[in-house]
A and B are shown apart, each in its own frame.
Chain A
Amino acid sequence: MKRLWSFLNIFEESIMVIGMTIMVFFNFFNVVCRYLLPQTPFSYTEELVILVFIWVSMFGISYGYRKGSHTILNVFTDRLPFRFQPFVIFFAAASSAVLMLLFAYTGYRMVMNQVEYEQVLPGMRIPMPFVSAAIPLGAAVTFISILKTGFEEMKGHFSRAGEKKEAAA
């Protein structure tokens, strides 16, 4: 199980690092070429960079869930009694998970639609799903990340509860 998570970490980190590098490279060379060459060799830079950016963002969302980086408002829930915390953790994780499940499903339908109508990107002339597949895939991975984080939070809560009991005894 541990191997799976470290694989997921490396997988997502690689997508982000490689993606960012491609984005920076093409964006910079577009500027350089505009001034050095009579005609820019990559007319499709914008489209390509956006494509990569969508992939980077979708997997970054999942990574952010695992690292607890998304902005949350916890002043109200922190004031709830300790024994209510498991419900808070469950509800929060379940809600995010439901969103990602719906997102993955509707995203999948969107991609299938594009496949059916053979939509292509106007600049690069490659099929649309090369970009849009990032949405269902990213959402599915995020779903897994949410379950993992929720599970760990729950475990953390109950180990704290155990400590409290010991301290009381």
Chain B
Amino acid sequence: MIGFILIGTFFLLLVMRIPVAASMGLASIAGMLYEGYGILVFPSVFYAAIAKYTLLAIPFFILAGIIMDYAGISRRLIDFANACCGDRKGGLAVVTIVVACFFAAISGSGPATVAAIGGVLIPAMVRNGYEKNFATAIVASAGGIGMVIPPSIPFIIFAMLAEQSVGTMFMAGIIPGLLMGLTFAIAALFYLRNDKNIIRREKSTWKGIWTTFRKAFWGLLTPVIILGGIYGGIFTPTEAAGVAVVYGLFVGIFVYREIKVTALFRIFVDASVSSAIIMFIMGCAGAFTWILTTSAVAAKLSAALLSVSANNTVMMLIIMVIFMIAGCFVDSASGFYLLLPIILPIVKKTGYPMYAFGVLATVNFAIGQITPPVGSNLFVACNIADVTMRDLVSKVWPFLIAGIVCLLLMTFFPQIITCLPSLLGLS
């Protein structure tokens, strides 16, 4: 009954256009009242859910991403990628995906990556004869890589909830992120194979490549600093995020000289609001999870799910389907809070490595960002490109298929995720 109240209230409020976070907050209050705990525990649980040092990496990585964007790093990365592979047929589509992978190594979220690269790349693709809706779909899909290649905000949240190491998860995300990029590029080229309208640009000289590389160098150095600092034992992931902010400010103000001091105010406000939105979700979702576990609903649902099949592969596939459906409606933060209390015990039983599961689930939510009705990357991309949601959705299918292929590969071959961490002795 309590499970019904919690989940029913949540979905009812959600479809009535109430913010995801508030829906969870109200649902958990309803649950608290029903179970007789009273609502006085709500603020304490909310506070406990967000007052964590690990979570501070979230505002810092968001801030670093916005700063890098203002600093003009994304534009320089685009020039460099364009010089490398822009001359081939469908080259600009590949450039978009390559740049998304690079920017993913600076930013930790999907929509931020879309915002950073879409403004330049969508008009550029349209100028070169790409269909606008498809160009927008490429950017929206490639943006999802932003949360898989480290740094990654969902990894931080998963690591905290499942008690895994953020460092290991970051390392584990690299190959899956690149694999996503590869399959997306194949999907784009396949879709474009007979497109006669695309204009091909001339091949760049080695000198051209070198010049653009030199200009993009400071941006390319960011992931080296972040990951090098974490694995070199110089600083923690949270501190790395803070260092990335200071580094971005340094590059933006003194090296590229594109950030005006007056723009800093806007940058800091934008970053604070973006992270506050996530914290609102996490606080309310924390309360939701608290009531879900204390009322033993989570355990009952786990047991019910476990009784469906004894086969580990079937179980993993069922879990993937659940995450896929959840990804259509909620973002990764809410999704993790909603599902992990139920799913984690099952994953433990199947013997799938826990941190690898976190990567897998994140890839699921990355794909969820390009599925209607709630696809945050689609929203951002629509706004940038000024296309309608309906037109955009009709063009994302090649990438949805590519993403699902990626997921299946990773489900059956967890080595794709675990090889890098085990090579470095992290797992």
> Are A and B genuine complex partners?
yes
Partner pick for B275 among A27, A57, A110, CB 8 A cutoff: A57
Q: B17 touching A64 by the CB < 8 A rule? A: no
A61-B277, A110-B44 known; A73 vs B53 contact (CB < 8 Å)? no
A61-B277, A135-B46 known; A20 vs B268 contact (CB < 8 Å)? yes
Q: B276 touching A24 by the CB < 8 A rule? A: no
Q: A75 touching B373 by the CB < 8 A rule? A: yes
Q: B51 touching A131 by the CB < 8 A rule? A: yes
Q: A60 touching B272 by the CB < 8 A rule? A: yes
Q: How far is the CB of B121 from chain A (nearest CB, A)?
A: 24
Q: A102 touching B273 by the CB < 8 A rule? A: no
**B246, B273, B329 — which one has the most chain A CB atoms within 10 A of its CB?**
B273
Taking the complex as formed, is A21 at the interface, i.e. its CB lies under 8 A from any CB of chain B? yes
A residues less than 8 Å from B276 (CB atoms): 16, 56-61, 63-64
Interface 9-mer from B18-26, B122-130, B137-145, B337-345: B18-26
Taking the complex as formed, is B135 at the interface, i.e. its CB lies under 8 A from any CB of chain A? no
Q: In the assembly, what is the distance between CA of A16 and CA of B39, in Å?
A: 29
- For A132, the closest partner residue in chain B by CB is B47
- For B38, the closest partner residue in chain A by CB is A106
Taking the complex as formed, is B43 at the interface, i.e. its CB lies under 8 A from any CB of chain A? yes
Taking the complex as formed, is A50 at the interface, i.e. its CB lies under 8 A from any CB of chain B? yes
Partner pick for A99 among B26, B59, B264, B274, CB 8 A cutoff: B26
B residues less than 8 Å from A40 (CB atoms): none
Taking the complex as formed, is A44 at the interface, i.e. its CB lies under 8 A from any CB of chain B? no
Q: B275 touching A71 by the CB < 8 A rule? A: no
Q: In the assembly, what is the distance between CA of A76 and CA of B47, in Å?
A: 32
Partner pick for B246 among A20, A28, A96, A98, CB 8 A cutoff: A28
A57-B280, A72-B18 known; A109 vs B331 contact (CB < 8 Å)? no
Q: B269 touching A16 by the CB < 8 A rule? A: yes
Taking the complex as formed, is A88 at the interface, i.e. its CB lies under 8 A from any CB of chain B? yes
Taking the complex as formed, is A118 at the interface, i.e. its CB lies under 8 A from any CB of chain B? no
B residues less than 8 Å from A30 (CB atoms): 239
Taking the complex as formed, is B63 at the interface, i.e. its CB lies under 8 A from any CB of chain A? yes
Q: B29 touching A102 by the CB < 8 A rule? A: yes
* Chain A residue total in the interface (Cβ 8 A): 53
A residues less than 8 Å from B46 (CB atoms): 103, 135
Q: B25 touching A24 by the CB < 8 A rule? A: no
Q: B20 touching A71 by the CB < 8 A rule? A: yes
Q: Specify the main secondary structure of chain A where it touches its partner.
A: helix
B residues less than 8 Å from A75 (CB atoms): 372-373
A residues less than 8 Å from B21 (CB atoms): 70-71
Q: A69 touching B277 by the CB < 8 A rule? A: yes
Q: How far is the CB of A103 from chain B (nearest CB, A)?
A: 7
Taking the complex as formed, is A124 at the interface, i.e. its CB lies under 8 A from any CB of chain B? no
Q: A60 touching B235 by the CB < 8 A rule? A: no
B residues less than 8 Å from A96 (CB atoms): 18-19, 22
Taking the complex as formed, is B40 at the interface, i.e. its CB lies under 8 A from any CB of chain A? yes
Taking the complex as formed, is A8 at the interface, i.e. its CB lies under 8 A from any CB of chain B? no
B residues less than 8 Å from A70 (CB atoms): 19-22, 277, 280
Taking the complex as formed, is A6 at the interface, i.e. its CB lies under 8 A from any CB of chain B? no
Partner pick for B17 among A19, A28, A31, A74, CB 8 A cutoff: A74
A residues less than 8 Å from B55 (CB atoms): 53
Q: In the assembly, what is the distance between CA of A53 and CA of B59, in Å?
A: 9
B residues less than 8 Å from A106 (CB atoms): 39-40, 42-43
A24-B63, A64-B280, A73-B20 known; A135 vs B43 contact (CB < 8 Å)? yes
A residues less than 8 Å from B63 (CB atoms): 20, 24
Q: In the assembly, what is the distance between CA of A50 and CA of B22, in Å?
A: 23
**B40, B56, B242 — which one has the most chain A CB atoms within 10 A of its CB?**
B242
Partner pick for A103 among B25, B234, B277, CB 8 A cutoff: B25
A residues less than 8 Å from B47 (CB atoms): 54, 110, 131-132, 135
A61-B280, A99-B26 known; A27 vs B60 contact (CB < 8 Å)? yes
Interface 9-mer from B8-16, B97-105, B353-361, B396-404: B8-16
Q: 6 closest A-B pairs (Cβ-Cβ)? A: A60-B276, A27-B242, A16-B272, A70-B19, A75-B373, A57-B279
Apart from A20-B59, A72-B17: 6 A-B pairs, beta carbons within 8 A = A16-B272, A17-B265, A21-B268, A30-B239, A54-B50, A72-B19
